[in-house]
Amino acid sequence: MKFTIYQESRQGKRTNNEDRIAYCYSRDALLMVVADGMGGHYYGEIASQIAAQTLTDAFQREAKPGLADPFMFLHRGMTNAHHAILDFAADHDLRDSPRTTCVACVIQDSVAYWAHSGDSRLYLIRDGRIIGQTRDHSRVRMLIEQGVITEAQAATHPERNKVYSCLGGHQPPEIEFSRKTPLETGDVVLLSTDGFWGTLPPEIVAVSLKQSNLLQTVPMLMNQAEMRGGQYCDNLSVVAARWEDSYVEPAQSTISTQTMALDEVTTKLDQFGRNPAYKLDLSDDEIEKAIMEIRSTIDKYSGKK
């Protein structure tokens, strides 16, 4: 298993960053996660943190070195995250539960499996073209499919930020799954929040990533998305991986898992409140307390099958 991967999250023009991103890999499998929190104050970030951490914790337990059933893993992880968020809200007597979108992808044996709830997106890009994409669980997507509005009208529609499925909501989430999708050398799998994809036409993203250095191109696309977002720019986050075989980028950016032990897992997940790119209106003590509460909430669902 050989791939190049890059992740970045930016605050945009918002007062806080409620996006959470992560990737995690063993010798035979790779997990990528993007979550976009909703709910105000720091609770939206807690919801997205729970989603990302629940999935990465489960991957670290189960990928030894591969997953028995990637689709079942994704379903169980997202469902457990949904219930963990509800438990957090109940334990803290919150009037409204924090919520988060979530898109996650597992790559194993050069086959991609993905699932999502909400409007965080996945693009599968091959030779400068998008050959696979998630379907947004949003009000405007429904209106487009019904022929009420066009794609161009959706970009400025007043309900463009409303989703009908998410983790942590009052209704059970709609979790939509891909097909098993074989990957070819050079394919790019990109997961992002709507702050990124909402301002960049998919064609621009796809063409920009054709045979380019992922570690240089994705930050450039982030710059474009932030500039296009202007004074109302939302949080924007991306996790992108180029699947490699004969294609090789600079050695320092390439990850090879051939020498990893069967039970070894590597994870990259920013901890709650520790992202240097933004500030929280919380003291260090409040952050530490929040971390402990998140950990306690997730532990309730650790090991659930």
- The amino acid present at 198, given as its one-letter code, is G
**Which is it for the CA torsion 231, 236, 242, 243, positive or negative?**
negative
pLDDT of residue 12: 95
Instruction: Give the SS3 label for residue 111.
Output: strand
Which residue has 């998305």 as its token pair? 225
pLDDT reported for residue 166 = 95
Q: What are phi and psi of 250, to 5 degrees?
A: -50, 140
Residue 223 lies in a domain: yes
pLDDT band at 158 (very low <50, low <70, confident <90, very high): low
Q: What is the Cα–Cα distance from 200 to 101, expressed in whole angstroms?
A: 19
pLDDT more than 90, % of the chain: 65
Q: How confident is the model at residue 273 (pLDDT cuts 50, 70, 90)?
A: low
Q: Could you tell me the maximum CA-CA distance found in the chain, to the nearest angstrom?
A: 54
pLDDT at 13 over 70: yes
pLDDT for 247 equals 37
Work out the average pLDDT over 113-134.
97
Q: Is residue 221 part of a domain?
A: yes
Q: Is the pLDDT assigned to residue 118 strictly greater than 70?
A: yes
Over the chain, what is the mean pLDDT? 88
What's phi and psi for 272, nearest 5 deg? -55, 130
Query: Model confidence at 22, in pLDDT bands (50, 70, 90)?
Result: very high
305 is a domain residue: no
Q: Are 258 and 27 in contact (CB under 8 A)?
A: yes
Instruction: Report yes or no on 304 lying in a domain.
Output: no
pLDDT at residue number 212? 84
Q: What is the pLDDT of residues 236-252, one digit of tens each?
A: 999 999 998 533 455 56
Q: Tell me the residue range of the domain where 223 lies.
A: 2-299
The pLDDT score that the predictor gives to residue 255 is 84
pLDDT per residue as tens digits for the range 196-239: 999 999 999 999 999 889 999 999 999 999 999 999 999 999 99
pLDDT of residue 188: 97
φ and ψ at 156, to 5 degrees?
-120, 10
Residues of the chain with pLDDT > 70, as a percent, come to 86
pLDDT of residue 246: 39
Instruction: Tell me, yes or no, whether 162 lies in a domain.
Output: yes
Tell whether 262 is covered by a domain.
Answer: yes
- Torsion on CA atoms 300, 77, 86, 51, rounded to nearest 10: 100
**Tokens for 82?**
């949904």
Could you tell me the pLDDT band of residue 97, with boundaries at 50, 70 and 90?
confident
The CA-based angle 27-28-33, given to 5 degrees, is: 95
Distance, CA of 188 to CA of 107 (rounded, Å): 12
Record the tokens describing residue 130, joined without a space.
């998008």
pLDDT at position 148: 76
Whichever domain contains 259, its CATH number is 3.60.40.10
| Count of domains forming the chain | 1
Q: At what angle do helices 43-62 and 70-91 cross, to 10 degrees?
A: 140
CA 153-154-157 angle, to 5 degrees, is 85
Q: Rounded to two decimals, what is the model's pTM?
A: 0.86
- What one-letter code names the amino acid at 231? Q
Nearest C-alpha neighbor of 51 from the set 304, 277, 303, 297: 297
Residue-level pLDDT at 291: 75
- Taking alpha carbons only, the member of 181, 159, 68, 168 closest to residue 114 is 181
Residue 143 has pLDDT above 90, yes or no: no
Residue 14 has pLDDT above 60, yes or no: yes
Per-residue CA distances from 225 to 5, 61, 136, 205, 267 (Å): 20, 36, 19, 10, 27
289 domain-assigned:
yes
Residue 171 resides in a domain: yes
Which strands form 2-10's sheet, in the order they lie side by side?
A: 129-133, 121-126, 188-192, 236-243, 2-10, 254-256
Q: What is the pLDDT of residue 257?
A: 87
